[in-house]
Amino acid sequence: MNASLLVVQAALYFTVMMSLLRARRVIGVGVFMCAIGVMHFLETYLASVFYIALPFGIISPGSTVLFSGKLFMILLLYMREDALVARQPIYGLLIGNFLIVGLVMVLRNHTTVSVTEGGLPDIAFVDEMGWLMVWGTVLLYVDAIAIIVLYERLGSWLGRHLGLRILLCGGLVLTFDQAGFFMALHFVSGAPWHVFWGGWVAKMFAAGLYTCFFMLYLRYFSVESHWMKDAARRDVFQALTFREKYHALLEISAKDHLTGVLHRRSYEEEAPAYLAENRKAGRPVALLVIDIDHFKQVNDRFGHQTGDQVLKEIAGILTRNLRTDDHLYRVGGEEFVLLCERLTVEGAVSLAERLRRTIEQAQVPGLAEPVSVSIGVSAMPQDGRELSDLFARADQRLYAAKTAGRNQVRGPETAA
């Protein structure tokens, strides 16, 4: 019964918190962060006095379900946003918990009166909780930073094995936390040593359970590629600890480092939302897939430095010709996607032709011959109502333009 109740608690915690994380674009990420923070006192209280017996030992639901869940939620927040967002609940919890301790130190000096029989506060217990809050807060700060940095470090070894990365970094950090918090619990509350082993086994089970929940979530409600991170752990650590280079990480997290336009992850996260908003409002949307012609030959003949210059020049031309409702992304080596809100298919083909001519006439420094692009155009609702449909149709037309000789535009009316 106890084990079943723990699973139910973990499932309830994960479902509610992931719902808040998923809805952050609508209700704001602050709701998710507040939900994380309000349970810290309950976690500490349960970890100090509330224990249950399982076949492998004595454990506390506060540590097993709530604290473990909190660390996983901070990691998932980082994976969906970036280090600049993930550090907000980390420092909010740090400051808020120290504030609680400071207020308790003042409150304990009050002369209290009883308004109900036996209603006087237990100051000794409050003091004990205060010390555990201080130590638990310090551990949480270290744990939260460690689980994010370790996640990125494991990425260089495990690549795209997302579930395994989450399981390992969660298990390692929770092992460290169990050792650290038990030491305080042992010396402050006199917890016996067998509580450590039972708690450790329970936290490893929690790490596996939360990882399974997350992988099931990916299977039925999201896509794994949307959660993959690719940031240098040094930059992540600097951002999480407010080091001076976090501004650079802010740029890296949203834009392609070479061309300065939004990168593929931004496309995968933002474009579906733009499309859904316009679909709901009944507005047209066009999608242009733009590919540089013979780009491999440029790299082979003139070198990658010249190739980089070509990319920057074309990205600059595209950027200078954007409307307010246009969104430009670099989604591949020499491939860009331009998502145009409130633009009809006729307007999109006209825009694509203007961009093609402008690029054809441009002079790239260090390159004597002109550069050209081929463009495939699709539009909503003619070519579909989902982003994958629009991209597939535009990509087909881009391929047709390449096959027909390059340096041309293919839209719905020219697809045949």
CATH code assigned to 259-414: 3.30.70.270
Give 255's DSSP letter.
B
CB 296 within 8 A of CB 229: no
The per-residue pLDDT for 244 is 47
The per-residue pLDDT for 372 is 95
**Tokens coding 44:** 């500490």
Distance CA 87, CA 400 (A): 47
Q: What backbone phi and psi angles, to 5 degrees, belong to 2?
A: -60, -45
Q: What is the mean pLDDT of the chain?
A: 86
Distance CA 351, CA 375 (A): 11
Residue 21 has pLDDT above 70, yes or no: yes
Residue 77 has pLDDT above 80, yes or no: yes
The per-residue pLDDT for 416 is 44
Q: What backbone phi and psi angles, to 5 degrees, belong to 412?
A: -55, -40
Look at residue 161 and give its three-state secondary structure: coil
Structure confidence by residue, pLDDT tens digits, 142-175: 999 999 999 988 887 887 788 999 999 999 999 9
CB 287 within 8 A of CB 339: yes
For residue 81, the tally of other CB atoms under 10 A from its CB is: 17
CB 145 within 8 A of CB 86: no
Amino acid identity for residue 33 in this structure: M
Domain boundaries, the chain: 2-109+122-240, 259-414
Write down the pTM of the prediction: 0.57
